[in-house]
Structure 1
Amino acid sequence: MTEHKKLGLTARIVIGMLAGIIVGFFFKWLLAGQEERVLYFVGLDIPLKALFIDGFFHIGGEIFIASLKMLVVPLVFVSLVCGTCSLSDTSALGRLGGKTIGLYLITTALAISLAIFAALLFSPGEGVQMQSDANFNPSEAPALSQVFINIFPSNPIESMAKGNMLQIIVFAVLFGLAMAMSGKAGERLSAVFNDLSDVIMKLVTLLMNLAPYGVFFLMAKLFTTLGFETIASLAKYFGVVMLVLVLHGFLSYGVILKLLTGLNPLVFFRKMQDAALFGFSTSSSNATMPVTMETVTKKLGVKNSVASFTVPLGATINMDGTAIMQGVATVFIAQVFGVDLTPGDYLMVVLTATLASIGTAGVPGVGLIMLAMVLQQVGLPVEGIALIIGVDRLLDMTRTAVNVTGDAMVSCIVGKSEHAFDIKVFNDINAGTKEEDIDFHHLR
């Protein structure tokens, strides 16, 4: 008797995603114009929307997201402490930071330049006469001086409680350096942190095995409430953003990876499937960070000393997907309002969006705040953001998948340049896949 081959994690996540989309469409059709529709069951009137959409789907999705976010702070802190204290040369830390931040800024500038070029080529806002009842009041971005001040925590416990990633990174680096300088005491503590790191990564694996169910709940609720009428009215804008996201995510990253490392981009993209699907489902680089970290270290072969720094920093400041949205949105809004932008204005858009990716890191609603800053810089009405909010949810999902892929790509480049990269793991198609499966019936 032959034994059936167990489906891989990627296949299970895709099945959960597709099932959620189908169920979401079904409930959207079922509740069309009948928000208060009820289900008659054993003499009871059960409101479908309250039971399923606001009940099972909402609760299941929120628990899944909360579970992922639960791991972010301990994972970043423990991994970064382990990585920093293992550095034999402290000067490597400055080199590591310079390479990482430099690459993230370069890819962001490339992303927004590509977006502006595509938007000018396809002109998504020409001939569009749109009005929107939606209002957008952007939060004020912090001043540059305050950004640098806010990087350093006055209370690291409070920073962890609030999930302020830049402050956690700074404290973890300083703590790791202090451990490396503390002799025997540092070595004993290092062993404890290494054990903690192993346990946390196993917890990540446990949650990854539950991911298909969480993805199902998220997709089911999203596609029950998604308004495709708005997408149809903004089809050209939506299409241009999606096109640039796909081009940048595959072509730009693939070419950069090949030129700077010589690695096979096809192997890289194949191994990024799970992390990209997580990013697409959650729409959050921070929530996806545990999966990205496991993918980068276990499947791509980047050593923890590098990945523990590049991945959390990327989830905080690498916003290539957001930059693409800003580039296309700026041209779209300018065309809708009949404003002609000069080449100097477009250059200012590139510079503002690139630098703002660091300046607004960790600020809630960061994408729209950055876009408001860009529009103000070139004299466009900030109210124009209200026109595109309706289609931003689906685009946000794709942007996150691109951002997560960019984090991993930069990690590979920095890891290889720092000789902290295992080429055998990268080329092994099955690397890291065995760790994904947990037998919940036999824990030992």
Structure 2
Amino acid sequence: MTMHATVTDRPSSLLKNYASILLLLGGIGVGSLVGFFYGNRIENIKFIGDIFLNLLFTAIIPLVFFTIASSIANLKKTDSLGKLFGIVSGVFLATVLISAAVMLSVMLVFPVAHDATLSAMAQQALLDNPATNNHSSGTSITQVLTVNDFFELMARKNMLALILISLLVGFATLRAGEKGKSFAIFLDSANEVMKQLLELIMKIAPLGLGAYFAYQVGVFGPQLLGVYVQPLALYYASCTAYFVIFFSLYAYLAAGKLGLKIFWKNNLTPALTAVGTCNSIATIPANLLAAEKMHIPDYVRNIVIPLGAPIHKDGSSMSSIIKIALLFAMFEKDFSAPSMIVAIMGITVLVSIVEGGIPNGGYIGEVFAITAFGFPMEQALPVAMVIGTLVDPIATLLNANGDLVSSMLVTRIVEGKTWLSSRLTQS
């Protein structure tokens, strides 16, 4: 009798566990079909996706602050914190370098041919997308890392400044000792409230992401034709291979076969959210929920994932390579020169850190790369912007999902190779 109940309950249990994923897939599938058949006319329903995104963005600012500040404030030893940040930095840098090296190798094997059409498209793109950032690099760095008034921390474009303040508040709470305990409790409580708020918002994700997918397919689909087909095909194929092969390798290194299984079981919702929103920061809630289900300790996931969203970008490092390769072909420069390869890798790492986590963003990074290689801004920037828009979905997938698998690697280094099996046994 007991065995019969267990067997018959299994389908309903599976359906319950995967209900949110199936709903997301359903909404995205329907949205994509609607966008494909209706094209530009689908812009009328974009507001539904915008409402969902606006709710997410409204909640994300306090979530990031309370998540980071409470995680640091509740650490027992500052020595552990310093070690943790060193490990996180090492993992982020290593994966960005690996992803850049993969894309660079692909572009060297399958170089982009010069096409005169690129020049004509660049001129048209300049008319449609005039450059909006004329700041010097020094000013840009200052504006990315700091703000000159407290209320500006509430703006999503100042995410790095918010993270910096969150870290400092956490450190200050630690330094306050006994007098700071009440504030640490407040931070922890507020963090839990924000998590619950985001769970409520995510309940309308199938509708919101469905509308957003309909808009993306309807408006940007036709631009996938023409001179961009070859580099885009190479980029999407390379990113897909990197996503499947290297993320599987990272998960296996983090926790063996068990880590491989638990990663692919829980990363689908964050992956779909990343592709649907083209926004690493919007994927933070889904990543945090997935990391919790994967038994990644809170002191790791609450630092790695919010911190990784604006600065850890495997996908952006790969898109930086494809943009540079296109510009080299456009202006007939030698992409394969050894001195250029070293420069390209260095610029790519810097650009992947500079780029912010906003939809179709990264203009500061693009300007920086164009300036570094001496390309004419008026012709080069529009091409980089168009490519940036077209590669954004899968680039964001690697950016955001990379934070999730990086949190597994960090946990492996901090807690040892049996961290996952030990936690599964305890649960």
**Aligning the two structures, in what range does the TM-score lie when normalised by the shorter sequence?**
0.7 to 0.9
Asked if 1:102 corresponds to 2:102, the answer is no
**8 Å Cα contact 2:46/2:215 also seen in 1:** yes
2:288 aligns to what?
Answer: 293
Task: Give the letter aligned to residue 364 of structure 2.
Answer: I
Counterpart of 1:248 (choices 227, 232, 242) is 242
Change (3 A) 1:324 1:161: closer
Deviations 1:54-111 (A, max 9, x none): 3xx1221110111111121111111112211111110222222222223222222222
Alpha-carbon distance in structure 1 between the residues aligned to 2:208 and 2:314: 26
2:19 aligns to what?
Answer: 8
Matches within 5 A, 1:14-33: 14-28=25-39
Matches within 5 A, 1:7-406: 8-28=19-39, 49=41, 53-54=43-44, 57-126=45-114, 129-130=117-118, 131-132=120-121, 133-135=124-126, 137=131, 139-140=133-134, 143=137, 147=141, 151-152=145-146, 154-161=148-155, 164-228=158-222, 230-259=224-253, 261-262=255-256, 264-296=259-291, 298-341=292-335, 342-361=337-356, 366-382=361-377, 383-387=379-383, 389-390=385-386, 392-406=388-402
2:4 aligns to what?
Answer: none
Deviations 1:29-78 (A, max 9, x none): xx7xxxxxxxxxxxxxxxxx4xx633xx1221110111111121111111
Cα deviation for residue 369 of structure 1 reads 3.2
Matched positions, count = 405
Asked if 1:415 corresponds to 2:415, the answer is no
Cα deviation for residue 219 of structure 1 reads 1.3
Partner of 1:24, secondary structure, is helix
**8 Å Cα contact 1:302/1:415 also seen in 2:** yes
Alpha-carbon distance in structure 2 between the residues aligned to 1:142 and 1:100: 30
Task: Give the letter aligned to residue 22 of structure 1.
Answer: L
Cα deviation for residue 356 of structure 1 reads 3.0
**8 Å Cα contact 2:354/2:365 also seen in 1:** no
Deviations 1:260-297 (A, max 9, x none): 5546334313311100100100001111112212222x
Alpha-carbon distance in structure 2 between the residues aligned to 1:144 and 1:95: 30
Alpha-carbon distance in structure 2 between the residues aligned to 1:157 and 1:415: 35
Change (3 A) 1:12 1:218: same
**8 Å Cα contact 2:351/2:365 also seen in 1:** yes
Alpha-carbon distance in structure 1 between the residues aligned to 2:168 and 2:155: 19
Task: Give the letter aligned to residue 31 of structure 2.
Answer: G
**8 Å Cα contact 1:300/1:426 also seen in 2:** no
Cα deviation for residue 362 of structure 1 reads 6.8
Cα deviation for residue 335 of structure 1 reads 2.3
Cα deviation for residue 237 of structure 1 reads 0.9
Change (3 A) 1:213 1:363: closer
Alpha-carbon distance in structure 2 between the residues aligned to 1:60 and 1:305: 35
Partner of 2:125, secondary structure, is coil
Alpha-carbon distance in structure 1 between the residues aligned to 2:238 and 2:146: 36
Task: Give the letter aligned to residue 102 of structure 2.
Answer: L
Deviations 1:325-366 (A, max 9, x none): 121222233223322231111210110120233345579965
Task: Give the letter aligned to residue 398 of structure 1.
Answer: I
Alpha-carbon distance in structure 2 between the residues aligned to 1:87 and 1:400: 31
Task: Give the letter aligned to residue 205 of structure 1.
Answer: E
**8 Å Cα contact 1:142/1:360 also seen in 2:** no
Change (3 A) 1:239 1:162: closer
Partner of 2:24, secondary structure, is helix
Alpha-carbon distance in structure 2 between the residues aligned to 1:98 and 1:144: 26
Q: TM-score, normalised by structure 2?
A: 0.84
Cα deviation for residue 233 of structure 1 reads 3.6
Cα deviation for residue 121 of structure 1 reads 1.2
Alpha-carbon distance in structure 1 between the residues aligned to 2:135 and 2:99: 22
Alpha-carbon distance in structure 2 between the residues aligned to 1:23 and 1:365: 22
Cα deviation for residue 375 of structure 1 reads 3.4
Structure 1 unaligned segments of length 5 or more: list them. Answer: 32-48, 432-444
Cα deviation for residue 315 of structure 1 reads 0.6
| Sequence identity (%) | 22
Task: Give the letter aligned to residue 420 of structure 2.
Answer: I
**8 Å Cα contact 2:310/2:355 also seen in 1:** no
Cα deviation for residue 324 of structure 1 reads 0.8
Partner of 2:415, secondary structure, is coil
CA RMSD of aligned residues (A): 3.0
Does 1-10 or 325-334 show the bigger shift? Answer: 1-10
Task: Give the letter aligned to residue 72 of structure 1.
Answer: I
